[in-house]
Chains A and B, each alone.
Chain A
């Protein structure tokens, strides 16, 4: 005969044939016993899932924080290079472009070289004037020679005058005095001539050595100025070239910055998986907790004991999982290394 047997777990009334009821009841008892033994795992599983979700979120938060730093630094770098590049070729009241600085430098160097060249020109003119002075002193020397000749002539004349004065006797006395005076004046002028001649000689020697020095210096200066001009031009060309390369590099950096921003945007999209995963895990946790609650009301979890069988469950190895599973053991700090 059939008797209705009330299912203890659901409270629902179901009909089973009596002949089967005994077998079903026995099997049902086995199932209930097994369920009761595995009940503690449910709470551990939901706790583990919650922890996993929390750890994932923490990691994503950390990664996001790093991306923010990277993006900020990339943005500042791009802004600085863009600002620098946009200033090139433009000038304001308090900023000068690099090109205008190079131009100023170039014109200043040209002015310095021009000043040096003018100094060289002055030395050349000095050389010319000294040469003219030397010619003039040569003429003076020639004139002095003539003066000496005139003086000698005067002396001879004066000697003759003395002789005639002596012949004239008493009437030639005055004439003799004049003749003597002429001789005396002539001798004095000869002395002066000789002094002037000596001075001229010294002057010419001095002028000669000065001329030699000036000529040597002028030659060296001219060669040095030419060399400096070549070197300055080469340096300015190199500087302009380096500046051009720098501008090119900065333009590339600006481009790389934009690419980096795109990559970070892609990473932000990718990291959003965590939000969906958290929600999915929360749903599973919710279901597990509901299941645990319903089964707990049916079975006494405390009576099962701590040693639930582990068949079919993973063996916990990590610290957190050990804690969740209630397995007590030696705790190792994160980052510790053990060598065997």
Chain B
């Protein structure tokens, strides 16, 4: 079963995203912020990372930069899932190494279709 790491400081968002992904047949691992996500990644290999942008301790873009520094995670698919939709922010995310950008609120079906496209 494919594993996906979801990173969001909102409990309800992690629950809704997790629910959608499990319905799609994925195994889900949760993290509260960027640093928590890095700790989890050190312990378990995942197939994709789905992260929010604005989080305490470590935000999403900083997380992406740190993930891309690791050789084993250099080409790991990373999708942003955030309320931010400004072009400038998207460019920043892309430059940091994000694979894609999804604006909240997400559509469950579209999210699953996107994951299917992005996952090898």
> Smallest Cβ distance from A281 to chain B, in angstroms?
12
Q: Is B108 an interface residue (CB 8 A)?
A: yes
> Smallest Cβ distance from B37 to chain A, in angstroms?
18
A67 CA / B16 CA spacing, docked (Å) = 9
With contact pairs A71-B23, A75-B23, A265-B109 given, residues A275 and B104 touching in the complex (Cβ less than 8 Å): yes
Interfacial chain B residues near A269, Cβ < 8 Å: 105-108
Which of A11-19, A27-35, A56-64, A297-305 lines the interface with chain B?
A: A56-64
A272 CA / B20 CA spacing, docked (Å) = 13
Interfacial chain A residues near B19, Cβ < 8 Å: 64, 67-68, 71, 268
Interfacial chain A residues near B57, Cβ < 8 Å: none
Chain B 49-75 interface mask (CB, 8 Å, partner A; 1/0): 000001000000000000000000000
User: B10 and A278: CB pair below 8 A?
Assistant: yes
User: B83 and A275: CB pair below 8 A?
Assistant: yes
Interfacial chain A residues near B15, Cβ < 8 Å: 61, 64-65, 68
User: A265 and B107: CB pair below 8 A?
Assistant: yes
With contact pairs A68-B19, A268-B19 given, residues A275 and B108 touching in the complex (Cβ less than 8 Å): no
In the complex formed, the residue of A with least CB distance to B23 is A71
A278 CA / B14 CA spacing, docked (Å) = 14
Q: Is A9 an interface residue (CB 8 A)?
A: no
Q: Is B11 an interface residue (CB 8 A)?
A: yes
Interface residues of B in 66-117 (CB under 8 A from A): 83, 104-109
Partner of B13, one of A75, A261, A275: A275
Chain B 29-46 interface mask (CB, 8 Å, partner A; 1/0): 000000000000000000
User: A268 and B16: CB pair below 8 A?
Assistant: yes
Interfacial chain A residues near B54, Cβ < 8 Å: 279
A126 CA / B11 CA spacing, docked (Å) = 88
Q: Which applies to chain B's interface (DSSP): helix, strand, loop or mixed?
A: helix
Q: Is A310 an interface residue (CB 8 A)?
A: no
With contact pairs A57-B11, A65-B15, A271-B12 given, residues A279 and B83 touching in the complex (Cβ less than 8 Å): yes
With contact pairs A64-B19, A271-B16, A276-B83 given, residues A57 and B10 touching in the complex (Cβ less than 8 Å): yes
Partner of B108, one of A57, A61, A268, A276: A268
Q: Is A43 an interface residue (CB 8 A)?
A: no
> Smallest Cβ distance from A267 to chain B, in angstroms?
10
With contact pairs A64-B19, A67-B19 given, residues A272 and B108 touching in the complex (Cβ less than 8 Å): no
User: B12 and A64: CB pair below 8 A?
Assistant: yes
Q: Is A137 an interface residue (CB 8 A)?
A: no
In the complex formed, the residue of A with least CB distance to B11 is A61
Interfacial chain A residues near B13, Cβ < 8 Å: 272, 275
A60 CA / B20 CA spacing, docked (Å) = 15
User: A274 and B12: CB pair below 8 A?
Assistant: yes
Q: Is A273 an interface residue (CB 8 A)?
A: yes
Interfacial chain B residues near A60, Cβ < 8 Å: 12
A64 CA / B11 CA spacing, docked (Å) = 10
User: B104 and A272: CB pair below 8 A?
Assistant: yes
A119 CA / B94 CA spacing, docked (Å) = 89
> Smallest Cβ distance from B11 to chain A, in angstroms?
5
Which B positions have Cβ atoms within 8 angstroms of A?
A: 10-13, 15-16, 19-20, 22-23, 54, 83, 104-109
Can you give 11 contacting A-B residue pairs, CB < 8 Å? A57-B10, A60-B12, A64-B16, A67-B19, A68-B19, A71-B19, A261-B23, A270-B105, A275-B12, A275-B104, A276-B105
The 10 closest A-B pairs by CB, nearest first: A272-B105, A60-B12, A265-B108, A64-B15, A61-B12, A68-B19, A275-B13, A57-B12, A269-B105, A268-B16
Which A positions have Cβ atoms within 8 angstroms of B?
A: 57, 60-61, 64-65, 67-68, 71, 75, 261, 265, 268-276, 278-279
Q: A67-B19, A75-B23, A271-B12 are in contact. List 9 more A-B contacts (CB 8 A).
A: A60-B12, A64-B16, A265-B107, A265-B109, A268-B108, A275-B104, A275-B105, A276-B104, A276-B105
